[in-house]
A and B are shown apart, each in its own frame.
Chain A
Amino acid sequence: MRAPGWQAFLRKEFREILHTWRLWVMPGILLFLGLSTPILTKLTPQIIKATANKTPGLVLHFPPPVARDAYLQFVGNLEQLVIIALVIVTSAAIASERRSGTAVLVLTKPLSRTGFVMVKALSQLVLLGAATLLGTLVCLGVTVAIFRSTADTGHLLAAVGAWFVFAAMMTLLTLFLSATLEGQAPAGGAGIAVWAAFLVVAAFPLIRDHSPAGLTTASDAILRGQHTALLWPIVSSLALAGLSLAGAVWTFARKEL
């Protein structure tokens, strides 16, 4: 009896990512966005002009697109599309193992429920981190190649960093919902509802500047060079992430399977 069960379970999680649809969702979406966003940003004015030319008398003037436009588009996609995909994927993490009976398979062996939840959290965060790194580096590389400019590289990294804190918090919050609610659909629905609530309260500056809601708009502001409050949104996001993880462990330990 040498290796604790959680190490074997962690290896299983990573192998599962490579063998199933999980490989294609988050890494696939981020890779696609990293590749396509700079290209579309470059081509969008020409596409619109080509369409507008078919309308007699209509003349459109666009400023030539720059690297920052590509980064703004990329970060905008992270803030919307990728968060939704992230919530849907993470909502399956525990709920689907319970539904399929595989949680019973592993939890009647020497793997504690705490170990089960911690491994799920770790694997989800590693997958998110790797996919974010991949997408960002591809976006950066393609943008530099197309626009022949390294401007705003630091702003992009800072913006993605701020987004990553929010995304990690949403991952752990959704993991808590996956451990608590019965099934992936309720967990995913609740996760998207929480995210929507953050978007709504971000309209109120006092709440936005002192809560995770601040991170829903921070990346865009960073890229535009606008002042944005980061300290409390980051601190409160990390606190909520920690509480969500602790809640997931506590709830799952008491759950009857």
Chain B
Amino acid sequence: MTETASATTVHGAPSPPAIEIRGLSKLYGAQRALDGVDLTVAEGSIFGFLGPNGAGKTTTLRILTGLARPSAGQARILGYDVSTAAHQVRSLIGFLPDVPGFYNWMTAAELLRFSGELFGLSAPVLAERVEALLDLAGLRGVTTKIGGYSRGMRQRLGVAQALINAPRLLLLDEPTSALDPLGRRELLEMIASLAGRTTVFFSTHILADVERVCDSVAILDRGRVVVQAAIDQLKQRHGGAHRLVVEVDDTARLARALAVAPWYVGHRQEGRDVVIEVTDVDQAALGLPGLIATNGLALRRLEPQEVSLEEVFVDLVGGEQ
């Protein structure tokens, strides 16, 4: 059990990352699906794995779960190499594929029981977890066979079955992509409720979902990780701290007054708001009220504007699409 030693926290040594990927590549014939991916996901985070369709998100997840083999590089989950310690990895993870397949003749309770039996859970533990997960998925009392479920019910059941072994790492592949707004909201709330209980690695191309539930993110584009950071840091890094939104009674006069400010870069009007690009947001926030007062303008609102993840995403990968 040499693999076990590398995965265990020994005498206060830091535990291994939930996911550690180094130089991961995957070729399908001449097509390169992954091109030297490097990624580290800390244990306990809700991590968004963001990228446009075809970026390589599903391929990465298939390698992490042992469904596909890498052409080069290494992937470890909680210290275990996914290629050489597949059984240990499968015992520690829960996985929801992008289009989950179920035995349609089973009920939700039967599927959860079967999933738990594959992990060898004892009967009392299994009974308790099945009840708890049926509650979590909003499927308690549903006696219909899975074949009659809506897409939203299937996705919620998919998350529930992935949690049956109380996994240390939950891998979700595009869990909300085909859901209607209500189903999407329910599923995101379900994922958000897992914060602090397990590490969640969540692939998606829907930026709003990542902003809503994730604390960290990596952006994948054409098989490469373009950036990896905490969401707040990412927004800071990509212009979030360089804009102010101002509402005054005369925007034309404000525009003329701004031209002389040393921190001024440019501005645009959005309805009654003026969005001002600045070189230093702190300096601008200090100087702007004085400038407005000096020019006899009435200040109604002044606040920094946070850049959206969508803007960061477009900034990083959109221009090349």
Contact = CB atoms under 8 A, between A and B. Distances in A.
Interface of A: 1-5, 7-9, 11-12, 16, 19-20, 100-112, 256-257
Given A7-B117, A105-B115, 15 more contacts: A8-B118, A9-B118, A11-B117, A20-B105, A101-B99, A101-B101, A101-B102, A102-B103, A103-B101, A104-B95, A105-B100, A105-B161, A256-B68, A256-B69, A257-B67
29 contacts: A2-B120, A3-B120, A5-B117, A5-B118, A8-B114, A8-B117, A9-B118, A11-B117, A20-B105, A101-B100, A101-B101, A104-B101, A105-B97, A105-B101, A105-B115, A105-B161, A107-B66, A108-B67, A108-B95, A109-B118, A109-B165, A110-B90, A110-B119, A111-B118, A112-B87, A256-B62, A256-B68, A256-B69, A257-B67
Contacts of B283: none
> Ordered nearest first, which 6 A-B pairs have the shortest CB separation?
A101-B101, A8-B117, A109-B118, A1-B120, A108-B95, A19-B105
B269 interface: no
A73 B95 CA distance: 52
B105 A257 contact: no
B65 interface: yes
Contacts of B69: 256
Given A109-B119, A110-B91, A100 B101 contact: yes
A111 to B, nearest CB: 6
Interface string B91-118: 1010101011111010000000011011
B321 interface: no
Contact of B67 (A4, A11, A100, A107): A107
Nearest to A105: B101
Nearest to B97: A104
B91 A1 contact: yes
Contacts of B66: 107-108
Interface in B163-210: 165
A107 B67 CA distance: 8
A103 to B, nearest CB: 8
A36 to B, nearest CB: 29
B161 A1 contact: no
B274 to A, nearest CB: 52
B105 A101 contact: no
B122 interface: yes
Interface in B72-92: 87, 90-91
B39 to A, nearest CB: 19
A257 B120 contact: no
A1 to B, nearest CB: 4
B185 to A, nearest CB: 25
B120 A5 contact: yes
Contact of B90 (A3, A4, A11, A109): A109
A16 B103 contact: yes
Contact of B102 (A4, A102, A112, A257): A102
B62 to A, nearest CB: 7
Nearest to B59: A256
Nearest to B161: A105
B103 A2 contact: no
A100 B99 CA distance: 9
Nearest to B64: A108
Contacts of A107: 66-67
Interface string B244-274: 0000000000000000000000000000000
B42 to A, nearest CB: 22
Central interface residue in A106, A108, A111, by most chain B CB within 10 Å? A108
A110 B95 CA distance: 12
A12 B103 contact: yes
Given A110-B120, A257-B67, A101 B114 contact: no
A12 B101 contact: no
B57 to A, nearest CB: 16
A108 B100 contact: no
A2 B118 contact: no
A14 to B, nearest CB: 12
Contacts of A19: 105
Central interface residue in B62, B69, B101, by most chain A CB within 10 Å? B101
Nearest to B101: A101
B178 to A, nearest CB: 14
A250 to B, nearest CB: 15
A101 B118 contact: no
Interface string B132-164: 000000000000000000000000000001000
Given A16-B105, A20-B105, A106 B117 contact: no
